[in-house]
Structure formats: C-alpha cells, structure tokens
Amino acid sequence: MISEIILLCSSTLESPWIDSCWPTKNIKARAHMTALLARYELGSIGGLRVAVKDSVDVEGVPTRLGSAACETVTPATAHAEIVHNILSAGHQIIGKTLMHELAFGVTGINHYSGTPVNTLYPDLIPGGSSSGSAVAVADGTADFAIGTDTGGSVRVPAACCGVFGFKPTFGRVSRQGVWPTETSLDCVGPFAATLSVLEKAEQALDPSFNLDVITKKKFHFGLVADTSARSEVATALQHYLKQSGVSQASLSLPLMEDAFLAGLDVINAETALACKTFLDTGRVGLDVAERLRKAAQTTAGQVAVAEHVRDRFSRQLDARFEVFDVLVMPALPDYPLRREEAFAGATDLRMTALVRPFNLSGHPALVIPFEVGGLPIGIQLIGRKGADEEVFLAARELVQRSASLNNNKYTQ
C-alpha cells in the first residue's frame, strides 16, 4: 500500500509539476528538486531503499514517462513484475524518478517534469534517459535505483553521475509492466553506488541471478582498441588496466560504428511507433517531438539493413568471447555535455557510440565509475549473452585489484 506521496517541485523548472499530477489524499509540496518525482513507502521498511524510473508500473501510481502527453493517464492497476520481485526480496520502494521525456534522449534535460542535478558533477548533464535513477543513487536518496536501457539509458547516466550501472542480457529480466511494451532493444537494469549493492539489486530484479554458480576466479580481459574514444580517454583506460594487473590483451571490433548506426535506426523505428499516440496529442516537448518526427521517417529498408548488421555484429562479438572472458572499453567516448549547453538545446548522440551497439546485439554490459582528468567517463565491461554473473565477477576482480590506485576514486 502506498502510504504517502510527496510532490517535489523546483523554482528552477520552466514548468514544475502541479498537485493534480499525483492524485492522492496526502500530497505535500517541497521546494527542492532531487531525483524523485514523488516519494512513498511501499514494502519492507528494513529493506534497501529503491527508486524506480517512471516508465515502470507501480500499482496505484500513474506512469507518466516524464511527459505532459501522459498527464491524464490513470494509475497503474498492477505492479510491474520487477516491482513484485523487488518487494518479494524484502526491499522498500521509496518513489519514482525523473527521466528524459518518453525515454528518448541522452541528456536527461526535461523542461516539463524537471532535470535532476548531477550530484558529483553539478556543471554536467546527468545523462539520459534514466537521469533521476542515477542521481537518486549518487545523492544517497536510494540504495539502488531502477532504470531502462534501450540505447545506453542506464549506462550513460551511470557514467555521467559516477555510479555503477548494469544492462542485462536482452530478455533475461522481465519487462512485463514496463514501457514500451514492444521492443527488441530495451532492458531493465539497476544503478548503485557500490558494486556489492549493484549485485543485490540484480538479484532482486532477476531471481535466476546467482553468483555462486560461477567458479572462475580470474578473468582474461579484452581491451577494445578501435573505439571512437578521444585519445586521452583511451590512454587513461590502457594505463588503468595495466596498473591493475589483470590479464588482458587488445582486440578490434570493426563493426562497432555500423552497429551504432544500426542501433539508431532500430530505436528510431520502434520508438516512433510506440510514441505516435503521444506525439499526436501535441503535448510532447519540442525537442523530443522533433526527434520523434525524424525517427518516423526511418524506412523498412533501413531497419532491414540494421537487422543484418545486428546479426553480423552479434556473431563478431561471440567470436571474440572464444578468446576473452569479458571485453572492456570506455563507457563514454568523450566528456559529458555541460548542463548549460544542454539546456540551450545541445545534444550529442555520439555519447552512446560505445554503449548502443550492445543493445543491438543483446549482450550484458556493466559500467564502473571512472574519471579522466577529473571528469566522468566510466569503464564498460561486456560479457557473453546469458553470462551476466560473469560480468559482475569480472567487475569485482577489476575493482578489487584497482582498490589501491589513486586515479579512480569512485570504485572503492
């Protein structure tokens, strides 16, 4: 039962939420915008505190997707399956988080429902689309948070905000009760400030997740050398891996760029279809509406070519896993946009160049916080399909080995 909802408003918002956004008998306004749209108590008070992205159904609460186009939707009549799983694991859901409108953007900027401040890097964007979920963990509001990742929407905010984030193997974690209902890319994934809590979060989301079944103690890391990351980012990661002392060697993924572009075509086609009704209301924000109109121009021929790339890239990755246990590369190819630039209308889809390909292929991927020159970049680990546990244990090895290093203060 939802016992209380607290509406969070901010004087910095262009269009702050109004009381009617959350129909309930007990609404309290607050003047400070955090990561949350609304607070409530649901589940065991003694469990870990969990924040949930507003694209996930919670019974009795509207799922508004951060959009005025969804302002009049009725409250969800049932929990999403992952919400049931979280509550069954003994945790407490404390509220829903802010998000990029209709989950279609990389900056996290939302002029309607609000943009959370990147706690560790307040001058930078929090990343999208699961911006509020990443910030809820970074600022300590939640012990772990739930996001969705269609083209990097967990891993990009995790990297931007200096927290851990995970995208599971496509199809392994239930999406029942999660928007969009039809997708070949989207995955539900957790954020946490530490790897140990991220492990507990994934155990709650995925009842089949069991680290004890993996007996491997040391992993052979494959450093992807031919990425689009700026030179100092690539150099910093090479140095970091060398200093950590993990077993590693370099490899190439020649289809990365093709997979990035193909991923854009697939997400554009699928999102344009999922959002058509919302766009027709005329209430979608101008920035997202423009992207949706362009996305709707994606042709069946483009999608067919993208599906061919999906198959080739997936097979290329699978071949690399015959040699390596896990692949490693930067999560972001460049530093995040400054917040003021994004509010002025700037965006950068190239932020997803190193994460989006693995939505297309369906492989699991985990982001470890990592700085270069004091700015967030993140390290991404990619594993075999279905081998989500191996990715976590490889991350554990890397974090433990690098605990004494001084160039990555957020992986302790």
> What positions carry a catalytic annotation?
53, 129, 153
Question: Over the range 23-35, which residues count as b (16 or more CB within 10 Å of their CB) and which as e?
Answer: ebeeeeeeeebbb
On the CB side of 409, how many CA atoms lie within 13 Å of its CA?
A: 6
- Euclidean distance between CA atoms 83 and 96, whole angstroms: 12
Q: Which amino acid is present at 69?
A: A
- Euclidean distance between CA atoms 131 and 271, whole angstroms: 19
Question: Over the range 151-188, which residues count as b (16 or more CB within 10 Å of their CB) and which as e?
Answer: bbbbbbbbbbbbbbbbbbbbebbbbebbbbeebbbbbb
Rg over alpha carbons for the chain, rounded to the nearest Å, is 20
- Euclidean distance between CA atoms 41 and 383, whole angstroms: 36
Residue 370 CA to its chain's centroid (Å): 16
- Euclidean distance between CA atoms 344 and 91, whole angstroms: 39
Beta-strand ranges (E) seen in 104-259 are 144-149, 164-167, 187-192, 220-224, 247-251
SS3 183: coil
Task: Evaluate whether 167 touches 146 at the Cβ level (below 8 Å).
Answer: no
